[in-house]
Structure 1
Amino acid sequence: MSVSYDFSIEELGKRSIKSPMTMSKIRGDFIANYVTDDEFVRLSAAVTLGVQAPIKRSQVFECAGPREFIYFMPQHVHAGIVSCGGLCPGINDVIRAIVRCLWYRYGVRRISGIRYGYKGFLPEYQYGTKELTPDIVDDIHKLGGTFLGSARGGGREVAKIVDAMEKLNLNMLFTIGGDGTQRGSLDIAGEIDRRKLKIAMIGIPKTVDNDFSFIQKSFGFDTAVAKAAEVVTAAHMEAHSQINGIGLVKLMGRESGFIAAHTALASHEVNFVLVPEIPFELNGPNGFLHHLEERLRTRKHAVVIVAEGAMQDQLIREVKKDAGGNIKMEDVGTYLKDKIQEYFDAKGIEINLKYIDPSYMIRSAPAAPSDSIYCERLGNAAAHAAMAGKTKVLIGLVNNEFVHLPMKVVVSQRSHVDPEGNLWRDTLDATHQPILMVNNPMGAIFGKEDDIG
């Protein structure tokens, strides 16, 4: 049974103000065009011949971009920008793009940066705001991290946050963050609705894990893969230079193994990729450790990538959550390192194991050119959406088009590596690892080996 989604976008009201952006409404005149609300993108580009069902508005994504008529009077706008959660390459690029688009394209002169995430709204912290102008933000894209500072938590204090937004007279808030941030943004929007305020809530999805549903790619992902590939190169050199050398690299990926899989494809030097979506066992004749031993026997070295969310179902004994609402995970990297060493020590086999966890080095890096371009366009699209009075909206890329996505639908689920899809198939081709490293494949599928006759 197919799942039905509603991709309709909410608006604050009728757009009646002529945009200060001079653009065209016709094709072929070499002048950039306005985007209309009749331009859409389908979720799937795949088609089945002979089957063409009617397409409803709720089934398609609204194209992002500047509208001919806008909702807000630019001279009256006070815009806020906040970045929340962990660091990610490209945050500063997004901030810069939003500020410059609002300033130069619409003439908005009041733009405030909210410092240290949602906590910046809470009076008990007294962080204050940071004035944002093109002169202030022009060079921040050269830096990693976030110019505004970031923090986890605070997003549940919706009443206090909206109180602060009212005191600041904000008309729009741009939230740069992951699914926890955007859930908080949705809650804030609900409080705004209850107070009958006219404040646009626009989200720019941020996660190096690339696990936002429906969105083709999250910003920072390309940079993360590029940096991770450099680490793998170092791990491979260490492993290749030692007697039975093993390079073990832990990469980001709480619930999804996209960075691990893409890094393996980018580096061409990885022999095993362990991700949350694909079950595997350590011991037994078809377990990971046996296959690692076989690899050392035949090639004398090995490189292993493990995503941080792998094996958590086996490692977590008590569920605890951090300030952002994420489950606190056990360190699978050090656990795996110890288990590998114990296995070969017990067999009397000499190994030289090098373990690398580059997570925070990757997260804090400045954006690579491909991400910088992407962030610039995301920030521009976010500014256009806010000025048009769109709300509860995330900006993302779908089928190579920038679109508006409803927050509620996007945060309802996460994207995962499909064990039967082409990305994982290509990863298996790149690593030559076994398709499934479990001793009872049917047990892995059904979850209980004892139930299999």
Structure 2
Amino acid sequence: MRIGILTAGGDCPGLNAVIRGAGRRLLREGHEPIGLRRGYRGLAHADHMTLDHPALSGLLPMGGTILSTSSYDPFRHDDGPQRVRDAMARKDVDAVIAIGGEHTMEITRELHAQLDLPVVGVPKTIDNDIVGTDRTFGFDTAVHVATEAIDRLHSTAQSHDRVMVVEVMGRNAGWIAVMAGIAGGADGILVPEVDVTVEELAANIRRRHDRGKDFSIIVVSEGARLAFADGSSRKVRASDDTDEYGYERLGGIGAALAKELEEATGYETRVVVLGHIQRGGTPTASDRILATRYGVAAADAVLDGAFGTMVALDGSEITRIPLSDVVGVKPVDLRLLELAKTFF
């Protein structure tokens, strides 16, 4: 069989390890892995590359994706569904392994349901917010990067008696903020799931100063709301524009929060936006291993004919779940936020 492999949505540490795992498993079993460039666009527009042994060599430590990526959705283009049908009719590929996040799993689910496309999904996102899996690859690397940044900010914040606001990724769920905040010893954490008011944060910072702590570190998810004691709140957007598929462009909550905290406390406040630094570079050992396991499991699912499923981590075991169950966003475990509050 010719098995297409694609990476869609945002880039993420570990993508190449999944490609390698799936490709090597398929080659070992006598099948032909085909790289589909730029997500589902590669399937719809017949943009392919060979995934032979040389192409799959040396991928484990590489960030990004050798297949490139996009958020192309066939259902948002008039000719998209027919292009996918034509590709399958031409036998460009016999099945597809789709590696991506929430939006990619949604597309993959609909392609299976509406076009009967033989697909298997692999959950990818640094946000760790995909329903049905305990962990996504890329998350550990992002938390590691954010934690290292917080560690470095401690020394400069203490030296200058400053409040430092660290803005991390997390559009719909605050997993990175919570886990990096706990690991880095943050003094406040804001996530999309729960509003924390400027006044509450300011009071906590003042109490720290009263105890002799002249600096504070606040970690905030990009999707968190700027909230106040009067009950008002708002999301902060980088611009009023949306991307080509209608998703709002978030960003700026860190700067907005820093301004409010400085006015409320009188303490000098600076902001650091980690942005795409969290998504780039070499994956951690943990992410390489998880990504490899996912890749091999996805290839096995294809060979077993288990189409319409997504490979997932359940405890320590890799399982398969129906794509129809992968709906919505997995919110952060609020028990972790309560744990973090112990140290605020």
Which residue of structure 2 lines up, in the alignment, with residue 16 of structure 1?
none
Is 1:293 equivalent to 2:206 in the alignment?
A: yes
Mapped to 1, the partners of 2:88 and 2:243 lie a distance apart of 25
Which amino acid letter does the alignment assign opposite residue 255 of structure 2? T
Give the secondary-structure state (helix, strand or coil) at the position aligned to 1:391: coil
Q: 1:403-452 deviations in whole A, cap 9, x for unaligned? A: 00111111x22211243x3x2222222x32xxxxxxxxxxxxxxxxxxxx
How many angstroms does 1:390 deviate by?
0.8
Structure 1 residue 316: Cα displacement? 5.7
Partner SS for 2:332: coil
CA shift digits 1:140-193 (9 cap, x unpaired): 222111111011233423332232233343111010101111111112213432
Q: What CA distance in whole angstroms lies between the structure 2 residues aligned with 1:158 and 1:235? A: 49
Q: Decide whether the 8 Å contact of 2:157 with 2:216 is kept in 1.
A: yes
Structure 1 position 188 matched with structure 2 position 111 = yes
Asked whether the equivalents of residues 82 and 148 of structure 1 are also in contact (C-alpha less than 8 Å), the reply is: yes
In structure 1, what is the Cα distance between the partners aligned to 2:98 and 2:106?
A: 11
Q: Which residue of 2 aligns with 1:246?
A: 163
- 1:208 matched to 2:131? The reply is no
Q: Which of the numbers 150, 154, 174 marks the counterpart of 1:236?
A: 154
Q: Could you list the per-position Cα deviations for residues 288-335 of structure 1 after superposition, in whole angstroms to 9, with x for gaps in the alignment?
A: 223223323431000110011100761369986533553433521221
Structure (1 or 2) with the greater strand fraction: 2
Aligned mate of 1:149, from 50, 68, 84: 68
The amino acid across from 1:184 in the alignment is I
Corresponding residue for residue 320 of structure 2: 404
The 3-state SS of whatever aligns with 1:241 is helix
1:129 matches 2:48: yes
CA contact (8 A) 1:201 1:391 kept: yes
Deviation string for 1:22-63 (max 9, x for gaps)?
xxxxxxxxxxxxxxxxxxxxxxxxxxxxxxxxxxxxxxxxxx
**Is the alpha carbon distance of 1:113 and 1:324 closer, same or farther for their aligned partners in structure 2, counting shifts above 3 Å?**
farther
- Percent identical pairs in the alignment equals 28
Distance 1:155 1:223 in 2: 31
Other-structure match for 1:415: 330
- What SS does structure 2 have at the residue aligned with 1:217? coil
Equivalence for 1:314: 234
Q: Secondary structure at the match of 1:209?
A: coil
- Corresponding residue for residue 19 of structure 1: none
Take 1:249 and 1:305, find their aligned partners in 2: how far apart are those partners? 5
Cα distance between partner residues in 2 of 1:238 and 1:162? 57
Is 1:87 aligned to 2:4, yes or no?
A: no
Give the counterpart of 2:297 among 381, 392, 402.
381
Aligned pair 1:339/2:254, yes or no? Answer: no
Structure-2 change in CA distance of 1:159 and 1:142 (3 Å): same
Which 4+ runs in 1 deviate beyond 6 A?
Answer: 317-320
Counterparts of 1:42-81 in structure 2, within 5 Å, are: 77-81=1-5
AA at the equivalent of 2:217: V
Q: Are residue 392 (structure 1) and residue 308 (structure 2) matched?
A: yes
Structure 2 gaps of 5+ residues are: 227-232
User: Is the Cα contact below 8 Å between 2:13 and 2:138 reproduced in 1?
Assistant: yes
TM-score norm. by structure 1 comes to: 0.69
Normalized against structure 2, the TM-score is what?
0.90
Q: Distance in 1 between matches of 2:245 and 2:283?
A: 24
RMSD: 2.1
Which residue number corresponds to residue 271 of structure 1? 187
**Structure 1 stretches of 5 or more lacking a match?**
1-76, 194-198, 433-453
> Which residue does the alignment assign to 2:88?
165
Instruction: Provide the C-alpha distance between the structure 1 equivalents of 2:209 and 2:169, rounded to a whole number of angstroms.
Output: 26
Of residues 24, 27, 30, the one that matches 1:100 is 24
Bigger radius of gyration, 1 or 2? 1
How far does residue 241 in structure 1 lie from its aligned partner after superposition? 0.9
